[in-house]
Structure 1
Amino acid sequence: MFQRDSLEQARTIVRATFAPTPQQMWPLLNQRLGANVWVKHENHTPVGAFKLRGGLVYFEGLRRREPDCKGVVTATRGNHGQSIGFAAARAGLSATIVVPRGNSVEKNAAMRALGVELIEHGDDFQASREHAQRLAGEQGWHMVPSFHPDLVRGVATYWIEFFEAVQPEVVFVPIGQGSGICACVAARAFTGARTRIVGVVSAHATAYLDSFRAGRVIESPVTTKLADGMACRLPDGEALEVILREVDDVVAVSDDEVAQAMRALFADTHNVAEGAGAASLAAASQQQSRWLGRKIGVVLTGANVDSAVFERVLGGQSN
């Protein structure tokens, strides 16, 4: 996933579908954090989140690996599912998406609008993933994982865009299943950036933080009510290897901190962020005193928050 030619190929695939997303420095955010804050706007992709890049590259490879594939299945809390639905439709493949019960209403609707068959199963992402794996075996479908080198290469294209335009001293990277932060590592090597990478987990879903500290995969419970894109119970072993080798630190942000960051992004930039989409800014705010007066990078990874949830957040609640 770190080879230059494969990353260049990924960039060609992604750019055939949509243009690079903007990176913007907002004066009010600068004032708020006392730093030069560059925001990478992955909320501006055709599905409102960064995951689409990975799906496009994955299906390009799938066509070569499995030319007779007729259908795919995967599990998601939403943005990965939209990515797979979008890319599968372009490839002429049927897609079945498994989500946990009580998943985001509007993310579910967005996936259905892309033509997927949506199945609600289990109380968390891990249970949904295990059900998707069973369906793949029973139906003969291809199981799209949540972490794969092709997904990482696709996601790396946004980090390459960011590092080629801006090379901040540090970037704060939300961690779900690990494709985003591993992509950041790949792009840093590709561009030669000397940026520090700080991973961000939910304080209510600390599997990757616990695993980072222990140096091995550790399963941890998930209780976050707001950062569903970071609701990981069981880390991916391959992703953890990259994180242990290349990432400078991992920190945790609470739902209250995420909610405050969502409010700040809306007030200072008038961009909507879902919970995981605001986690990067939440971490930067948590470490504000360390980075005063310096150039930092945050990523608004997605904007797909239910209207009712966002209304409560803007009203001062965190769930």
Structure 2
Amino acid sequence: MNLIPLQAIELAKKRLTSIIYHNPLSYAPKLSQLSKAQVFLKKENLQLTGSFKIRGAFNKLSALHEEGKLTHGVIAASAGNHAQGVAYSASHFKVKSVVVMPEATPLLKVESTRNLGAEVLLKGTNYDEAYAYALKMAKEKNYTFIHPFADSEVAAGQGTIALEMLDEQDLDIVLVPVGGGGLISGVASAYRLINPNVKVIGVSAKGARAMFESFHAKRIIKTDSVKTIADGIAVRDVNEGIFECIKQGVDDMVEVDDEEIASAILYLIESQKLVVEGAGAVGIAALLHNKLDLHPHQKVGVILSGGNIDVTMLNLIIEKGLIKTNRKTKFRITLIDKPGSLMKLTDLLTKMDANIVHVSYDRISTKLEYGDAYISITLETKGLEHKEKIRNIMLENGYKFSEIV
């Protein structure tokens, strides 16, 4: 697949006019200060269905509808966002849709897809296994398969994001999440054909690095497995056509790990008041963790590709983030098991202005000396300095303790 033709992207924009919510680029002052560049956010997490995927899916089904090829229904394989795009689009055109999702897909994405009218089947441990099942079913049932990225009409739909960005800002760099490559193919094609001076940089998850490794090796490298909290870009294999488009249109690729992605999600919640899923936060992770060599005069656009994060995952990220930034601390303390021991400890912590949020008491562990008890205690703290003060006071008062990580 060569670059997506500009006429195809412009046609997609016309088809999407009444469907897409236009989210203008917004300047992020705090992030700009941290990154030492001028950062602008493209908030596709606020898009209809919660992600950019509605663009490609709707454009593809629009093209099929115009050609009279939607008679038997459609089928797709997806970790969630493409699924919702296909389900919404199929409902719009009043055709049957079936979506095959990996078994570990977050419940939020499963239920959202069903609520949009699709029949959902959970098959396989990852996207690639779900994809294989969907292809088999498409052949058996005569459904039209809607690929999440390896399709020129889908990529053209995703490329409409670039047209909107080009209308608003003269950017120097655009950061784009990379999984299968549909989004970056469309975006890179638009920029190459309209303003080739803009650097298009892909950001992948370290736990799904097939496209990253392939890009830098200049040949397709397949991986055996994927494991990342960025489930929207957890793609194991590289499509040949998409890879050719990426080689022509993308300037560079960087990668971020799960800890860096988690910190970016937490940063967006706290500093930008935005809920963004793992795949959507990789560009911010790249900025926060200095994956790029930026200059103050440069304008950087970051595509926040989706916001459909599982609540359980979000809770874990917040909890781990609070501990990592020393705003929550957990200790296990050995006390003499007698009346008043716990009160003496809590009085000491109160004087240190440490808020106790959880306490558990263990007096039967086989590791304890006779007459002792373990206290596991979780505290709200005010940063590293406050935590160190608490540690020092406990040491001065003779407490034996260890930090629980």
TM-score of the superposed pair, with normalisation by structure 1: 0.95
Match of 1:150 among 130, 133, 153: 153
Corresponding residue of 2:28: 26
Query: How far apart, CA to CA, are the structure 1 residues paired with 2:262 and 2:105?
Result: 18
Query: How far apart, CA to CA, are the structure 2 residues paired with 1:12 and 1:71?
Result: 24
- Of Structure 1 and Structure 2, the greater helix share is in 1
- Say which is worse superposed, 239-248 or 125-134, in terms of deviation: 239-248
- Cα deviation per residue 1:258-292 (whole Å; 9 max; x = unaligned)? 01111111111100000001011112233366114
- Say which is worse superposed, 167-176 or 298-307, in terms of deviation: 167-176
What SS is found at the alignment partner of 2:308? coil
Which letter maps to 1:303?
Answer: G
- Say which is worse superposed, 233-242 or 60-69, in terms of deviation: 60-69
Could you tell me which runs of 5 or more consecutive residues in structure 1 were left unpaired when the two chains were aligned. none
Corresponding residue of 1:116: 118
Query: How far apart, CA to CA, are the structure 1 residues paired with 2:74 and 2:291?
Result: 43
Could you tell me which runs of 5 or more consecutive residues in structure 2 were left unpaired when the two chains were aligned. 325-405
Quote the offset at 1:218 in angstroms.
1.7
The structure whose Rg is larger is 2
Corresponding residue of 1:210: 213
**Greater RCO, 1 or 2 (C-alpha within 8 Å, sep 6+):** 1
Identity %: 27
Match of 1:54 among 51, 56, 71: 56
- The 5 A counterparts of 1:280-299 are 280-287=283-290, 290-293=293-296, 294-299=298-303
- The answer as to whether partners of 2:177 and 2:203 remain within 8 angstroms in 1 is yes
Query: How far apart, CA to CA, are the structure 1 residues paired with 2:216 and 2:293?
Result: 21
- The answer as to whether partners of 1:14 and 1:53 remain within 8 angstroms in 2 is yes
What SS is found at the alignment partner of 2:49? coil
- Cα deviation per residue 1:62-107 (whole Å; 9 max; x = unaligned)? 1133435221111000000000001011111111100111111101
Which letter maps to 1:171?
Answer: V
Which letter maps to 1:306?
Answer: D
Which letter maps to 1:315?
Answer: E
CA RMSD of aligned residues (A): 1.7
TM-score of the superposed pair, with normalisation by structure 2: 0.75
Q: Does 1:45 align with 2:47?
A: yes
What SS is found at the alignment partner of 1:290? coil
Matched residue count = 318
- Residues 37 and 120 (structure 1 numbering): CA distance in 2 closer, same or farther, change over 3 Å? same
Corresponding residue of 2:177: 174
Displaced runs of 4 or more, over 6 A: none
Corresponding residue of 2:334: none
- Cα deviation per residue 1:187-237 (whole Å; 9 max; x = unaligned)? 203432521011111101110012112222221133433100111111111
Quote the offset at 1:133 in angstroms.
0.3
- The answer as to whether partners of 2:54 and 2:86 remain within 8 angstroms in 1 is yes
Corresponding residue of 2:318: 314
- Say which is worse superposed, 52-61 or 306-315, in terms of deviation: 306-315
- Cα deviation per residue 1:39-61 (whole Å; 9 max; x = unaligned)? 00111211110010111110111
Match of 1:276 among 275, 279, 283: 279
